[in-house]
Amino acid sequence: MTQQNTEIDDRGHGFVKALGTVDALFIGFGAMIGFGWVVLTGEWLSGAGTLGAILAFVVGGVIMCFVGTVYSELVAAMPHAGGEHNYLIRAMGPRVSLFGSWAITGGYISVVMFEAVAVPKTALYLFPNLEHFKLWTVADFDVYLTWALVGTVTAIIISWINIRGVKLASLVQTFVVSFLIIVAFLLLTGGLVGGEVANAEPLFTGGGAGFIAVVAVVPFLFVGFDVIPQSAEEIKLPPAKIGKLVVISVLMAIAFYIIIIWMTSLAMPASELATHDLVTADALAAMFHSAFWGKLVIAGGLAGIITSWNAFLMGSSRLMWAMAVAGMIPAWFGKLHPRYRTPVNAIIFIGILSALAPFLGSAALGWIVDAGSPAIVIAYFLVSIGFLILRKREPAMDRPLRVGGKSNGGMIIGVISAVLTLALFVLYLPITTWSAQLAWQSWAMFGLWLAVGIFFMFRLPTGIKAGPNAETELLAKVKSLRKK
């Protein structure tokens, strides 16, 4: 490793500066384009109708754009690994920082676990004889050893790639995202050439409840733009440009999902959607009259799994590293690999969780999505509040990218982001007939993860105020208490 590609940040931490513009953009975009578009598109169309589903993604995408705009200013002002951890500790102090960082980390890990289960589910489409040596049954789903091992082995490989360094991980990301874009182009072509406009009916169905059900999954599907801030110390670009990439990646994801929903709706009548397990794949096969094209979409689904999995493993491991370095969670998570300069222990921990996830069976897909979504929204809400606090308390803070200019436009964007994310969180609470109906397994996962975070919160020393020196003061106090 040479001095040219490694820099020591102002906190004394060394990361490899290896990511360029395309690398960083594809990390964020690729994180948002996982496997959900392959397995869930049929549910969106059945639940809300073609235009209803598209409108739900537009509404959810607009919310994410406001949040992404808030992030863009914060990452430009504080381009450090750990993203939310840095913004919240400066704005609201160590305890809120730990709670918000722990919540978003749980959301990230839920995506990694989701992808670990999605890999064998996708492989089963390509290899129908994959299931051998039944282990047990979970929620009416039979779990087979050979099926589960597909996800476990993939988890080991992706963890190994991430330990080897961010450049190798980004090369994999760039290659696979390029393939995903080709698949989207093929769907667009198929819809225009072989689709039927009449198949898009009904345009709306399910009423408000159907619309809300689709909006509720948007945070899980759009989470990923915020992975760019997690890797900020490894991006060799000016801070202002890093911030702009956050918003661009969100806009790319909105366009991708709209194309997928609209083109899939043209392929077959709505009455046939329920008969297809992987609607998007079967849609392209129907439009081009060949099973080959369906398998190509599945390959695109596998590509989406890899990009999302890879990006969230990068983001969650850097967040855990940042919390560990600040003394918030056990120091073991803060170890960097001596050669590759990656948070090796955090990667190993998350890799173990993802390797075990497939043994819960296919039913875990829904539980994991619903457990991760509210945790993600909590973090977005706290970051929006932190943005407003820093704008008010530290108006002179160096902001290479100042959203809204010098007027009150930035404050308005921050308020809208906070209100929308709070409203989004309310959708998960079982208080109205329109609320998203989460399974008890999802609430158990969500509650257990937050309970661990709250436990760590109360272990933090008191008396440390928010501000630019909060992390330094916290670490000094933690070290002094450990010596005692």
If DSSP states are collapsed to H, E and C, what string results for 266-327? HHCCHHHHHHCCCHHHHHHHHHHCCHHHHHHHHHHHHHHHHHHHHHHHHHHHHHHHHHHHCC
Q: What per-residue confidence (pLDDT) applies to 434? A: 57
The alpha carbons of the chain give a radius of gyration, in whole angstroms, of: 22
Q: What per-residue confidence (pLDDT) applies to 355? A: 94
Instruction: Please give the structure tokens belonging to residue 88.
Output: 């919240």
How far is 67 from 168, CA to CA, in rounded Å?
29
Is the distance from CB of 336 to CB of 344 less than 8 angstroms? yes
Show the domains of the chain with their CATH numbers: 21-483 (1.20.1740.10)
Q: What per-residue confidence (pLDDT) applies to 450? A: 92
Alpha helices in 93-235 (DSSP H): 94-126, 145-164, 166-194, 207-222, 227-230
Q: What per-residue confidence (pLDDT) applies to 6? A: 41
Positions in the chain short of pLDDT 50: 1-13
Is the distance from CB of 287 to CB of 195 less than 8 angstroms? yes
Burial class (CB in 10 A: 0-12, 13-18, 19+), 346: buried
How far is 354 from 308, CA to CA, in rounded Å?
13
> C-alpha 222: how far from its chain's center?
6
Is the distance from CB of 273 to CB of 202 less than 8 angstroms? no
Output the CA torsion sign for 150, 151, 157, 160: negative
Q: What per-residue confidence (pLDDT) applies to 436? A: 58
Query: Which residues are bridge partners to 321 per DSSP?
Result: none
How far is 95 from 305, CA to CA, in rounded Å?
33
Q: What per-residue confidence (pLDDT) applies to 99? A: 94
Is the distance from CB of 83 to CB of 229 less than 8 angstroms? yes
How far is 386 from 421, CA to CA, in rounded Å?
13
Is the distance from CB of 50 to CB of 200 less than 8 angstroms? yes
Helical axes 364-393 vs 94-126, angle rounded to 10°:
150
How far is 174 from 49, CA to CA, in rounded Å?
33
Element (H, E) at 450: helix 440-459
How far lies 199's CA from each of 186, 195, 261, in Å? 19, 8, 12
Element (H, E) at 3: none
Query: Which residues are bridge partners to 143 per DSSP?
Result: 136
Q: How many helices (H) and strands (E) does the chain have?
A: 18, 4
Core vs surface per residue 263-278: b (16+ CB within 10 A) or e: bbbbbbebeebeebeb
Burial class (CB in 10 A: 0-12, 13-18, 19+), 457: middle
Question: How many CB atoms neighbour CB 128 within 10 A?
Answer: 8
Q: What per-residue confidence (pLDDT) applies to 167? A: 64
Q: How many CA atoms lie within 13 A of 73 on its CB side?
A: 26
Instruction: Please give the structure tokens belonging to residue 367.
Output: 């539980």
Which positions ≥6 away from 377 have C-beta within 8 Å? 219, 421, 424, 425, 428
How far is 323 from 320, CA to CA, in rounded Å?
5
Q: What per-residue confidence (pLDDT) applies to 170? A: 65
- Report residue 201: phi and psi, to 5°: -75, 145
DSSP-based three-state secondary structure for 375: helix
pTM, whole model, 2 decimals?
0.79
